[in-house]
Amino acid sequence: MKCPYCEFDESKVIDSRPTDEGHVIRRRRECTKCKNRFTTYEKIEEIPLIVVKKDGTRESYNRPKLINGLIRACEKRPVSIEMIERMIDEVERSLHNDLEREIPSKRIGELIMEKLKLLDEVAYVRFASVYRQFKDLNTFVDELTKLLDEKKIK
């Protein structure tokens, strides 16, 4: 690691500690030449995900876009931003575990809806109405009927 002060190539680690719930390691280093100290962060390099949309176009996975959509679906519901972020973390872990670099948007939407259905049914229906592009009232009623039937089975 190059020293940011004198650009010498060697430094020693003085202290290491986990941050960001153990996903990042913070290291205090000391340059072996000028003795100045500096901090570095180490984290796992993640493979960027590419989302394949319904029309076949591809775009980079955009976490803030997903968060914004879920915030709208959960508006005025008892769902905190922490719950939304935890849900997205779980979905992202699942996507990375699949080891696929290109993910169909349908897969992401289905994973989100699975989690959202367990978290808040009203938010689920709101998200589903946009995601599945409900065309009319009958489509909306069909989704509600499925949801109610699932509830009866449990």
Q: Which residue has the higher pLDDT, 56 or 43?
A: 56
Q: Is pLDDT above 80 for 152?
A: no
CA atoms within 13 A of residue 70's CA, in its CB half-sphere = 28
CB-based contact 88:119 (threshold 8 Å): no
Instruction: Express each pLDDT in 102-136 by its tens digit.
Output: 999 999 999 998 999 899 988 988 888 777 666 66
Q: Quickly tell me which residue has 């809806």 as its tokens.
A: 113
pLDDT at 137: 67
With CA atoms as reference, report the closest residue to 61 among 98, 99, 105, 23. Answer: 105
CA atoms within 13 A of residue 144's CA, in its CB half-sphere = 8
Query: What are the boundaries of each domain within the chain?
Result: 11-43, 50-153
Q: Is pLDDT above 80 for 147?
A: no
Instruction: Express each pLDDT in 75-98 by its tens digit.
Output: 999 999 999 999 999 999 899 888
Q: Quickly tell me which residue has 């986990």 as its tokens.
A: 18
pTM above 0.75, yes or no: no
Average pLDDT, the chain: 88
| Spatial distance between the Cα atoms of 113 and 17, rounded to a whole number of angstroms | 36
Tell me what the mean pLDDT of segment 134-152 comes to.
Answer: 73
pLDDT at 151: 72
